[in-house]
Structure 1
Amino acid sequence: MTRRPLLLVEDTPSLQLVYESVLKTAGHAVRCADDAASGLALFRTLQPPVVLLDLMLPDRDGLDLLSELLAIKPDTRIIVITAHGSINKAVAAMRAGAHDFLVKPFDEQRFLSAIGNALADAGPGPAAKPSGSVTAPPGEFTGTSEPMQRVYAKIRSVARSMATVFITGESGTGKELCAQAVHDHSNRAHGPFVPLNCGAIPPELLESEVFGHVKGSFTGAIADKQGAAAAADGGTLFLDEICELDLNLQTKLLRFLQTSTIQPVGAARARKVNVRIICATNRNPLQEVRRGRFREDLYYRLHVVPIHMPPLRERGADVVAIAEAGLTRFAQEEGRKFNGIDPEVATLFQRLDWPGNVRQLLNVLRHAVVLNDGPAVTRAMLPIELHHELEHREDETPETPRPHVTLEGLIGRTLAEVERMVIEETISRHGGSIPKAARVLDVSPSTLYRKIEAWKAAD
């Protein structure tokens, strides 16, 4: 039950009556307005903790009103209401500072859940921090660089909302850590956090993994199986590598997001679940939409609050802090006597591109700890492939021109030779950066590193 009344701004009389009735039945005091002008006047008088705002108002655009309300009282939790056909406006509202959004038609459970989450998070926001101040990392993150400070701030800002979070970033940048941190800072922290890697499950089994199945629904279904969506009921479902979903399953996921219902394979009836979705990909999702590999309507339904995880090469001194934390942990696990990283190695670590990001860095530290006994990680302890990368960077001479590949130069060569020439030319045109070349060629940086190592071994 609320002490201060909620404010409902809805211009359709029938819907206003329905929403008001549901709120009052649930014990909430509520005041109503049927246009932006009266809503703004009531807002100034009531100073409500939560505002329910229809984005389609007769006298003013709802997004403009949202911005003005937040300018007057920034800690207000605003839940926007929009029609199914204008989901892009809800996305814009979330980016403008809305706490959550509801897409018509929605059920009573989803409505009251959004109100409850907003009220739990309502109240004065954290005191403004002086410019340049450093915030302690949430969850299991390490590092205080400026790019990560922006990530931490967004995690704390979005955590208590029901809005879908879409995490992007290269492999190994910590996308699952980010999803776990959002869950741990949310009102759902007491519920389950269920991760599912969409790229690691065969397409024919993915629907069963997400939605479950009943016994006998297909060959091999020897017992009922609870899917990840049901297992996450009351908590968070993390769909990693979301762009790997086939188009048929994308349609079913969209229906799940719109209705909050699941229907296991072979089941006669659907049932409701209360799940927050967080998804992630190492691809460019909008590019996947343009190529026809990802549904546009699903993209806009999921891409509400984007969080981009910066690559390790853009995090400055964080690489040393992560390396030292990993070294301490691995030394304890392996019973070794390491006490730090040689200054030369620390400098080298900050010069490398780290195509595998944090995952690659930790593998390097694990390698050094397993094969050595300290007291400090020196250059000689680094794995051979890292030595090759260091030698390559030290021998780089940007002034030396390289001949450009032409079609005439490709005719008469084998496909393997053509592939090597194209890859090497692409790397050259991007200043020797393998990660940048990999993005242009639409492959993983690790694929290019493996090919380069194979060419070196064959030469």
Structure 2
Amino acid sequence: MRRGAVDFVLKPYTPDALARRLAPRFAEIAERAADDEATPEKPGGGFDFDSFVGSSPAMRALYAEIERIAPSRAPVFVMGESGSGKELCAEAIHARSGRAQKPFVALNCGAIPRELMESEVFGHVRGAFTGASEDRAGAVEAAQGGTLFLDEIGEMELSLQAKLLRVLQTGEFRRVGEARARVADLRIVCATHRDPQAEVLAGRFRQDLYYRLHVLPIRLPALRERGSDVEALAQAFLTRFAAEEGRAFRRFSDEAMRRMRAHDWPGNVRELQNVVRRAVVLGEGEEVTPDMLPVEVGALNAVRSFAQPAVGEADIEPFWISERRIIEQALVTFGGNTARAAAALELSPSTIYRKRERWAELDGAA
């Protein structure tokens, strides 16, 4: 119970006794579901689900999945493209877990120099290395009782992965330079924008650690998969940045919004956020117009127009056609195995999946 269980039963027990124990829990779940159904939409069309904005089918499915896995104590593996909101997902999981009143500690493994990574994760004692002038707790210790979020875990070197595996296996860790073991009472949520199975095949990620962490996988949809959420997010960012910058912006023109909906958003929500902030800072007025947006936003139709070369240019083809031919040949070579083809081309399998979806759309529009 101290570790987050809501109830328990003693064996042996009868079906009636078990039903009586479960009834209050089912009632609570049903009540929460009813509350969720009654939750009013935000002005931009999103729902109040922590810091997320959006009510597309993809996001509603994500919210439901977060609700299901949050109460568990098992590790969570969040996958999604860069800028899709992996840390927001980890925070939402923590907020709905039995550890919500304890710390949430986030660590970006790709933003820390390799030589400092072990100390950042596990801490160190005075004199452990040059510059270690005092004892210092690491992220594992700071997250005691709560949740440790390891973003871009694929950037962690193999030797440190082995030490993280030991934490998961034994529930113990050691500060750098310390002999005694300390207890690690935390839940680990990790994330990566890469295909973890491809990283295992390439030898960049330990297979045993992968199976320890990949207990509850959850995938964040890319912004291009979220339909009208682009409009809701853009309006939410516009309202927020206009207030922060003291500007009068209140809406987007129809053409500006059309271009934003047509854009592929390879940088996902982070790219959209930057585009809106730039328009607010550099523009004037109450309405964001197309000329305030970067030229590449909504340029998909321009790319399509190159698919049929003009007369006299038949020997020149767009880069994406050459890229498609190379990727498809690699897939044929490896018998349709996307992971092996991606490794040979030094790409992420998710990149191949994304490009093939885009090609299918282009073929359908032709």
Band of TM-score, shorter chain: 0.7 to 0.9
Aligned partner of 2:303 in structure 1 is: 393
Residue 442 in structure 1 maps to residue 335 in structure 2: no
AA in 2 matched with 1:126: A
Distance 1:362 1:245 in 2: 28
Q: Which has the larger radius of gyration?
A: 1
Residue 45 in structure 1 maps to residue 16 in structure 2: yes
Shift of 1:188: 1.4
Distance 1:340 1:403 in 2: 45
Distance 1:393 1:162 in 2: 47
Please say if residues 196 and 239 of structure 1, whose CA atoms lie closer than 8 Å, have aligned partners that are also in contact.
yes
SS at match of 1:384: coil
Distance change (3 Å), C-alpha of 1:145 and 1:266: same
AA in 2 matched with 1:47: L
Residue 125 in structure 1 maps to residue 29 in structure 2: yes
TM-score by length of 1: 0.63
Aligned partner of 1:239 in structure 2 is: 150
Distance 1:442 1:332 in 2: 41
Question: Which residue, 213, 227, 231 being the options, matches 1:320?
Answer: 231
AA in 2 matched with 1:363: N
Written as runs of structure 1 = structure 2, the 5 A alignment for 1:265-284 is 265-284=176-195
AA in 2 matched with 1:167: V
Distance change (3 Å), C-alpha of 1:340 and 1:428: farther
Written as runs of structure 1 = structure 2, the 5 A alignment for 1:58-137 is 124-126=28-30, 136-137=47-48
Question: Which residue, 152, 156, 167 being the options, matches 2:67?
Answer: 156
Aligned partner of 1:368 in structure 2 is: 279
Aligned partner of 1:211 in structure 2 is: 122
Distance change (3 Å), C-alpha of 1:286 and 1:226: same
Aligned partner of 2:78 in structure 1 is: 167
Shift of 1:127: 5.5
Aligned partner of 1:31 in structure 2 is: 11
Shift of 1:129: 6.5
Shift of 1:138: 1.8
Distance change (3 Å), C-alpha of 1:426 and 1:365: same
Shift of 1:350: 1.4
AA in 2 matched with 1:265: V
Question: Which residue, 257, 279, 288 being the options, matches 2:199?
Answer: 288
Please say if residues 5 and 48 of structure 1, whose CA atoms lie closer than 8 Å, have aligned partners that are also in contact.
no
Shift of 1:5: 8.3
Distance 2:220 2:7 in 1: 39
Distance 1:390 1:287 in 2: 30
Distance 2:253 2:161 in 1: 49
Please say if residues 6 and 48 of structure 1, whose CA atoms lie closer than 8 Å, have aligned partners that are also in contact.
no
Distance change (3 Å), C-alpha of 1:398 and 1:122: farther
Distance 1:337 1:5 in 2: 53
Aligned partner of 1:305 in structure 2 is: 216
Shift of 1:347: 1.7
Shift of 1:43: 5.3
Distance change (3 Å), C-alpha of 1:394 and 1:342: farther
Question: Which residue, 124, 137, 141 being the options, matches 1:230?
Answer: 141
Distance change (3 Å), C-alpha of 1:430 and 1:126: farther
Distance 2:27 2:38 in 1: 23
Please say if residues 79 and 219 of structure 2, whose CA atoms lie closer than 8 Å, have aligned partners that are also in contact.
yes
- Kindly provide the CA deviation profile for residues 192-222 of structure 1, in whole angstroms up to 9, marking residues without a partner as x: 1100001111112111100000010111111
Distance change (3 Å), C-alpha of 1:43 and 1:426: farther
**Cα RMSD for the two superposed structures:** 3.4
Q: Which has the higher contact order (CA 8 A, sep 6+)?
A: 2
Aligned partner of 1:10 in structure 2 is: none
